[in-house]
Amino acid sequence: MDSHQWKLARRPVGVPVAKDFAYEVVDLAPLEDGEVRVANEFVSVDPYMRGRMNDVKSYIPPFELGKTMLGGAVGRVIESRSPDLVEGDVVEHYYGWRDIAQGNAAHFTKRAELAGLPTSVYLGALGVPALTAWIGLFIVAEMKAGDSVFVSGAAGAVGSAVGQLARLHGASRVIGSAGSEAKIDLVTSKYGYDVAFNYKDGKVSRQLAAAAPDGIDVYFDNVGGDHLEAAIFSMNTGGRAAICGSISSYNAESMPPGPRNLWMLTTKSLTLRGFTIPSMMQYTEPFAAEVAPLVASGDFVWNETIVDGIDNALEAFHGLMRGENTGKMLVRI
């Protein structure tokens, strides 16, 4: 059987281009004892993958040149030589950018089929994006009832979850930023945001000050750059920020300048704390205990932006980095 796969051909400089990647058809070897073969249904593309294209030390190893790019995916077992998984089982794994995945059964996690829900839910509302939102909001930023919360990238997979969780936990005001009027309407009508603004309409610090006249207590940062600087200006004394991502600078060819107002960390007694999910997996169970029932009942909602075909995975990634997604960006096989 053949597997269609995307490999990293060279390290991108700035915005990745087509020559940085190679789309190849790989002949799969016959299964060995303990192995399974999985037909992917959905493959995830995520902002952190841009960092893995660089050969730099980070919390997760870089992609290897000439090797298939790794990442989250969910599919069904189509052949098994393992007693642990049988044909038809739904599994989640990290073999990433390919239509057919094959490997040791221990690398695949069996997931239950949930009535009325697509298997892609394990890559979004019951997956890493929502887990990231939960950990960042409650463990890192220590949000409590009555806090005013600002979220950048409010319409993305993580941001849409943060808004809902903040509302469910009694935030006094939930403010978001997004990149289009359609996204502004979505986050305020569906995701629990009281108000949101289009960061393309003017200076972020001014728009945030107008949206949060009484300041903010918690900032969930998915963007960095001018959003982080604006949040520091608006944070109340004792404010906390969960630094999740800085997508505004992921394609930068040189190091962008940092916030000009870091002195306010001292005068306002602020806390800015970065975090990564691999180091905080101990919170998976409490997250699932709270969010899984909300998903099942329909009280926790989400959106997906779907691109069809593994051959279009690269375009899905580019669209994600351009902000064309609403909710989770996925490639449907």
Look at residue 247 in the predicted model and tell me its pLDDT.
82
Q: Per residue in 41-66, pLDDT tens?
A: 999 999 999 999 999 988 899 999 99
DSSP 3-state assignment of 175?
strand
Distance in angstroms (rounded) separating the CA atoms of residues 44 and 294: 23
Could you tell me the end-to-end alpha-carbon distance of the chain, in angstroms, rounded to an integer? 16
Look at residue 190 in the predicted model and tell me its pLDDT.
95
In angstroms, what CA-CA distances link 151 with 14, 239, 259, 294?
26, 14, 17, 21
DSSP 3-state assignment of 326?
coil
| In contact, 81 and 33? CB cutoff 8 Å | yes
Look at residue 267 in the predicted model and tell me its pLDDT.
97
Look at residue 258 in the predicted model and tell me its pLDDT.
80
Q: Per residue in 223-256, pLDDT tens?
A: 999 999 999 999 999 999 999 988 877 777 777 7
DSSP 8-state class, residue 247: G
Look at residue 7 in the predicted model and tell me its pLDDT.
98
> Per CATH, the architecture of 128-278 is what?
3-Layer(aba) Sandwich (3.40)
Structure tokens at 52: 């893995």
Identical fold at 2-124+303-332 and 128-278? no
Q: Which region holds residue 139: left if phi is over 0, alpha if psi is between -120 and 50, else beta? A: alpha
Structure tokens at 331: 């490639």
Please identify which residue in the block is written with the tokens 């630094």: 243
In angstroms, what CA-CA distances link 224 with 49, 149, 219, 308?
17, 16, 11, 30
In angstroms, what CA-CA distances link 217 with 60, 232, 280?
30, 10, 23
Look at residue 257 in the predicted model and tell me its pLDDT.
77
Distance in angstroms (rounded) separating the CA atoms of residues 166 and 265: 23
Look at residue 147 in the predicted model and tell me its pLDDT.
98
CATH class of 2-124+303-332: alpha beta
- pTM given for the model: 0.92
The amino acid that residue 77 corresponds to is V
Q: Is the dihedral of CA 291, 293, 295, 301 positive or negative?
A: negative
Structure tokens at 150: 């600002």
Domain ranges within the chain, ordered by starting residue: 2-124+303-332, 128-278
The amino acid that residue 172 corresponds to is S
Give the number of other CB atoms < 10 A from CB of residue 34: 14
pLDDT < 50 positions in the chain: none
Look at residue 248 in the predicted model and tell me its pLDDT.
78
